[in-house]
Amino acid sequence: MEITVPPFAVVPGAQVAQALAGREKEIVELVEDTYRVHASGATVNPPSYFLRFPDRPSSRIIALPASLGGESGVDGIKWISSFPGNVEHGIPRASAVLILNDPLTGYPYACLESSIISATRTAASAASAADRLSADRARPRRVGFVGTGLIARYIHTFLAGTGWSFDEVGVFDLSPESAAGFAGHVSRTVPGSAVTVHDSAESLVRGYDLVVFATVAGTPHVHDPGWFDHHPLVLNVSLRDLSAEVVLESFTVLDDVEHCLKADTSPHLAEQRTGNRDFVAGTLAEVMAGTLAVPADRTVVFSPFGLGVLDLAVGRYVHERVARSGELHTVDDFFHELSRHG
């Protein structure tokens, strides 16, 4: 078999958005399939690497290398920055690129704008969890969002795009402007939605049976398990809002145990508190496989660390769609030295 160097392409955000628009059900299925491949052991997903800055302690850039096996494998890495201070200047907190590598030669063959890919795989994972974890309990009718940035918007889009409808949507954000903006987004995208803006996280959490945390919190700000006495389904997407006490009182489902129990996430704090992992019920893949039953009479918390293989799966999907459209932007002679001896 002849092996050649693949052409190198650049896929800008506009093309990424176009490739993914309106395909929420398809992307949720893709993410679930990727979770199954990961659970089968056909992936390599090392720990994320955090670049931190002594002079900018709230900011970081994270590298997520991964390899996705299966029928059409792909290797690669996501390089994603989180600069919370950006929000004050009206620009998104996160920016990212995704590099896809050819598994035969190792050569990179695409660089994709990846903040959209990252938000999409996060939202698809959350929508899958909302569906799977509510299968054996009353399907939530009221959803509340704590944190109203880009990720919250994508999660709402994916819930609506996969058939969810709600009697009420609750909103809370430390920024009244952000809360109002998100409320407007909900009203525009799902006309007729009843939207309530709350003045505290507590009033929101206590009033909804599906609660989404999508904040930039670096340490827990929700400490009282009593807020969850009504046993909601909680999507702990931002990972660090809940105290160890709240996690230990809940039925805890993760996307990957080793990855979630790192970097002072809420589940990691619970592990540090107890010295064990007995509080972890299992993974979303186990719920999908039917080997983990979800109780109807407990608060259920899903904490997804976010796996690099999900980014690869969505990135590969985008690259293939753009290539089929005939609009793939390749960079001629990107790799100049292709002869070993000149």
pLDDT tens digits along 6-18:
999 999 999 999 9
- Which residue ranges make up each domain of the chain? 9-117+308-330, 123-303
Q: Is the pLDDT score of 341 beyond 90?
A: no
DSSP for 197-208, written as a single string: E-SSHHHHHHT-
Q: Based on the number of CB atoms within 10 Å of its own CB, is 5 exposed (0-12), middle (13-18) or buried (19 or more)? A: middle
Mean pLDDT, to the nearest integer, of 282-295? 98
Q: Which of 158, 154, 156, 141 is nearest to 208 (CA)?
A: 141
Mean pLDDT, to the nearest integer, of 100-125? 96
Q: Is the pLDDT score of 4 beyond 80?
A: yes
- Could you give the CA distance from residue 224 to residue 202 in angstroms, rounded to a whole number? 9
Mean pLDDT, to the nearest integer, of 90-98? 91
Q: Which of 178, 230, 106 is nearest to 186 (CA)?
A: 178
- pTM for the whole structure: 0.94
Do residues 241 and 212 lie in contact, with contact meaning Cβ atoms separated by under 8 Å? no
Residue type, 156: H
Mean pLDDT, to the nearest integer, of 225-234? 98
- Could you give the CA distance from residue 33 to residue 37 in angstroms, rounded to a whole number? 6
CATH value of 123-303 in 3.40.250.10, 3.40.50.2000, 3.40.50.720, 3.40.190.170: 3.40.50.720
Q: Which CATH class is domain 9-117+308-330?
A: alpha beta
pLDDT of residue 148: 95
E-strand spans in the chain? 9-11, 43-44, 49-52, 60-68, 74-82, 94-101, 108-113, 142-146, 168-172, 195-197, 210-213, 233-236, 251-254, 280-283, 300-303, 329-330
